[in-house]
Amino acid sequence: MEVELPLPLTEAVVAKALAELSQGAATALESCLECYRSKRMSSADLLSFASSTSIHSASLAAVCRRCLTLNCPPLDEAISLRLGGRDDDVSWYLIQ
């Protein structure tokens, strides 16, 4: 069973980001995704890493910018909104 990515990440955004990032950054993102999917990395840590690499990826930057433009909590604040204190229950919302 495929593990869903935490919002605002989607498979399409990640695929575009992997094509845009340098080889080293793309490998690091792939490693983080693998750790997340195998439950060795929290969604908060994955989102934090994705946010930190958004300066090198137009796709990740657009997702971060959209979240801020629509008055979603900034990524660093949003990843701290957890239900029940569990890393795998991150509360995200995007205004469509």
Count of domains for the chain: 1
Report if residue 32 sits inside a domain: yes
What residue numbers bound the domain in which 41 lies?
11-78
Bridge partners of residue 82, in order along the sequence = 90
61-86: pLDDT as tens digits? 888 777 665 555 545 454 444 333 44
6-61: pLDDT as tens digits? 878 889 999 999 999 999 999 999 999 999 999 999 888 888 888 888 899 999 98
Report if residue 15 sits inside a domain: yes
The helices-and-strands tally (H runs, E runs) of the chain is 5, 0
Report if residue 2 sits inside a domain: no
Report if residue 93 sits inside a domain: no
Say if CB 63 and CB 69 are below 8 A apart: no
Inter-CA distances, 61 with 16, 20, 21, 86, 90, Å: 11, 11, 12, 27, 20
The model carries a pTM of 0.70
Report if residue 26 sits inside a domain: yes
Report if residue 92 sits inside a domain: no
Report if residue 28 sits inside a domain: yes
